[in-house]
């Protein structure tokens, strides 16, 4: 019953936050006005600036910001116990993450739909524009370099998810063309798309499709990386309404409905137990409340500050400022829709993270296969033994397979509590994870195109302002990194495509630092307008200091330190030091500009 109370309590907390704190921000602070002309209408071009209903933009925004972050992060962080992870997700998403996303969306809509990086040059200081855009480019390069590998690995773990994920592309294009040309209601195409996608999950591994899925699952990682980057190129340069927007929208329908199934299954398991016939397994939290001090998990880094960079999406993530100010701000057709999309999407992601936590600390207790040397023994572990099998040590719980596996097992148990088959539950959760990752990949590519174009304008290099050249430049750099073998691996076909793993350790702290810098831009924008700033200043300080502490710890603390450890990693150390130097430079520029900025509006651009 404790699990059910946490789920219900979290949902109620998010609803209250949306209708109180979110409404206060919307009406009293940002003063959203439907009379203000949105960039999508003022600069409508049929490609990037496209006026769109808030329901469709919500679908794009939610699936783009979520990705695998609110799954992998919380699924790993529960190794420190369920309570620290839950508290950070609840309070972080309401008071930090949602404010960050909402604020980034608003200042972008009031600055022609520009990214926060571009805006920083006016509201902080001219030099910060290139500094900020450089950090954005680096963070997005890591995302593009790693997410092809993520999707390929998910396909290998759950082959039955391949066809359902691929079929989403033609469905999305058909829906986009239908809505764009006909101007019809969303209801009918939404129902048809959702029905076809669930049929593809139910029957997408039958007959010849099983052979199809099995064949693609055996593709080398590098082949998937290349194919997915080429797909991302197309999604980046095509008009937003043809592929990116409708695919994210139909994905959101499937993903939100799947979340609904997980919630209903959780309720059923909590009230009636799990299993058919015989003695049923009770749903209860099998993880410790907290594992700190002497009880800390073996090999795990300090809970502070690493909890706050392990769980990013689901609490607060710097990547979200790019979606808010990169794509969503160019699509909303009415300024008052921003609360629903900016604040509401983050709370929805927070609730997803809560469900992930519950799946990993309670759902897996209903039963997971016992594994020995990576192979199932045929036995089933339940209760505390199931949790210990996944979270016995940091090494055992780390990695995509372990974290995604814990979520899929736990959430799959919730769905099975409804009487649905294990095969369907596993396929649906596999599609769930892969679809989130794919929407992040194609959105990141489009965002990288915007950042590259803005960098081209900032440095006066005109070719980079062309969308095709900018996109090719972006995916080429990411692709060269991605197709390389992992650290220390030989140049063999099976090892290629894992190069993004080399830079991935940088992403946690860099991503959260990006959130702090976005808060800094929001803070200056409000300071110049003499608006209240305390609710932005506190999160800004938190998100600027904590990632820096984490980066310093990664550089200098312990045997695995990048710079002073037993086996130094000079590539990561160099990039980490440069990142800290860029942050320090931006903060110096901000400190110099702060006394002169109050009440002085920035020049229009």
Q: What is the DSSP string of 145-191?
A: HHHHHHHHHHHHH-GGGHHHHHTHHHHHHHHHHHHHHH---SHHHHH
* Paired strand residues for 375: 372
Token couple for 101: 């996303």
Whether residue 195 has pLDDT greater than 70: yes
266 within some domain: yes
The CATH number of the domain holding residue 72 is: 1.20.1740.10
Q: What is the largest CA-CA distance in the chain?
A: 73
Chain segment 8-63, per-residue pLDDT in tens = 999 999 999 999 999 999 999 999 999 999 999 999 998 899 999 899 999 999 99
603 within some domain: no
Report the percent of the chain where pLDDT is more than 90. 50
Chain segment 127-151, per-residue pLDDT in tens = 888 888 888 888 889 888 888 888 8
Lowest mean pLDDT among 415-424, 485-494, 574-583: 485-494
Angle, helices 507-527 vs 303-310, to 10°: value is 80
605 within some domain: no
Number of domains in the chain: 1
* Paired strand residues for 120: none
> Can you spell out the DSSP letters for 181-221?
HH---SHHHHHHHHHHHHHHHHHTTSTHHHHHHHHHHTS-H
What is the average per-residue pLDDT within 480-506? 82
Chain segment 54-87, per-residue pLDDT in tens = 999 999 999 999 878 888 899 999 999 999 999 9
pLDDT of the residue at 605: 63
Of 300, 311, 319, 401, residue with least CA distance to 356: 311
344 within some domain: yes
602 within some domain: no
What is the average per-residue pLDDT within 235-257? 89
Of 333, 549, 447, 554, residue with least CA distance to 67: 447
Number of H helices, E strands in the chain: 28, 2
pLDDT bin (cut points 50, 70, 90) of residue 117 is confident
Whether residue 498 has pLDDT greater than 90: no
pLDDT greater at residue 601 or residue 410: 410
322 within some domain: yes
Of 451, 439, 431, residue with least CA distance to 232: 439
What is the average per-residue pLDDT within 259-276? 89
307 within some domain: yes
Mean pLDDT of the residues in the chain = 89
Total residue count of the chain as it appears in this document:
605
* Distance, CA of 342 to CA of 98 (rounded, Å): 7
244 within some domain: yes
pLDDT of the residue at 277: 62
What is the average per-residue pLDDT within 375-393? 82
Lowest mean pLDDT among 252-256, 276-280, 410-414: 276-280
Domain of residue 493 covers 2-597
What is the average per-residue pLDDT within 347-366? 94
By the 8 A CB rule, do 25 and 339 touch? yes
């Amino acid at each position: 019953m404790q699990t059910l109370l946490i789920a219900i309590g979290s949902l109620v907390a998010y609803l209250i936050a949306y209708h109180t704190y979110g409404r206060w921000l919307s009406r009293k602070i940002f003063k959203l006005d439907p009379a203000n002309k949105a960039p999508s209408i003022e600069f409508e071009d049929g490609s990037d600036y496209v006026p769109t209903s808030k329901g469709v933009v919500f679908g794009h925004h939610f699936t783009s910001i979520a990705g695998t972050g609110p799954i992998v992060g919380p699924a790993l962080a529960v190794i420190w116990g369920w309570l620290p992870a839950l508290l950070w997700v609840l309070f972080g998403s309401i008071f930090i993450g949602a404010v960050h996303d909402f604020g980034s969306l608003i200042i972008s809509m009031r600055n022609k739909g520009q990214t926060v990086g571009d805006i920083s040059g006016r509201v902080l200081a001219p030099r910060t524009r290139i500094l900020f855009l450089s950090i954005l480019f680096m963070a997005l390069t890591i995302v593009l370099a790693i997410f092809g590998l993520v999707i390929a690995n998910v396909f290998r773990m759950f082959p039955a998810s391949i066809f359902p994920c691929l079929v989403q592309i033609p469905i999305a294009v058909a829906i986009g063309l239908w809505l764009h040309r006909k101007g019809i209601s969303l209801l009918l195409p939404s129902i048809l798309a959702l029905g076809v996608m669930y049929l593809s999950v139910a029957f997408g591994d039958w007959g010849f499709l099983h052979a199809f899925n099995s064949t693609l699952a055996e593709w080398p990682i590098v082949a998937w990386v290349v194919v997915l980057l080429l797909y991302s190129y197309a999604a980046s340069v095509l008009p937003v309404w043809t592929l990116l927007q409708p695919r994210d929208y139909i994905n959101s329908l499937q993903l939100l409905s799947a979340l609904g199934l997980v919630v209903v299954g959780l309720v059923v398991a909590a009230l009636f137990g799990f299993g058919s016939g015989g003695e049923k397994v009770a749903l209860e939290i099998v993880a410790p409340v907290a594992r700190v001090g002497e009880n800390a998990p073996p090999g795990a880094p300090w809970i502070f500050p690493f909890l706050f960079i392990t769980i990013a999406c689901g609490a607060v993530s710097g990547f979200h400022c790019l979606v808010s100010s990169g794509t969503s701000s160019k699509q909303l057709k009415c300024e008052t829709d921003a609360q629903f999309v900016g604040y509401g999407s983050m709370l929805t992601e927070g609730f997803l993270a809560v469900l992930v936590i519950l799946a990993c600390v309670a759902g897996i207790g209903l039963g997971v296969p016992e594994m020995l040397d990576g192979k199932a023994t045929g036995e089933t572990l339940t209760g505390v033994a199931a949790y210990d099998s996944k979270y016995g040590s940091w090494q055992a719980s780390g990695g995509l397979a372990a974290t995604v596996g814990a979520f899929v097992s736990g959430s799959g148990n919730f769905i099975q509590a409804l009487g649905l088959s294990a095969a369907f539950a596993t396929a649906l959760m596999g599609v769930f994870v892969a679809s989130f990752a794919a929407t992040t990949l194609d959105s990141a590519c489009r965002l990288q195109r915007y950042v590259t174009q803005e960098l081209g304008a900032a440095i006066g290099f005109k070719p980079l302002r062309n969308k095709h050249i900018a996109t090719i430049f972006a995916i080429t750099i990411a692709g060269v990194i991605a197709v390389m073998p992992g650290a220390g691996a030989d140049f063999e076909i099976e090892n290629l495509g894992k190069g993004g793993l080399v830079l991935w350790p940088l992403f946690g702290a860099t991503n959260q630092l990006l959130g702090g810098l976005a808060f800094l831009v929001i803070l200056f924008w409000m300071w110049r307008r003499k608006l209240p700033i305390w609710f932005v200043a506190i999160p800004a300080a938190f998100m600027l200091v904590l990632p820096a502490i984490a980066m310093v710890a990664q550089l200098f603390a312990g045997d695995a330190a990048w710079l002073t450890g037993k086996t130094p990693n000079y590539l990561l150390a160099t990039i980490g030091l440069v990142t800290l130097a860029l942050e320090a430079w931006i903060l110096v520029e901000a400190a110099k500009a702060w006394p002169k900025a109050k009440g002085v509006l920035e020049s229009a651009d």
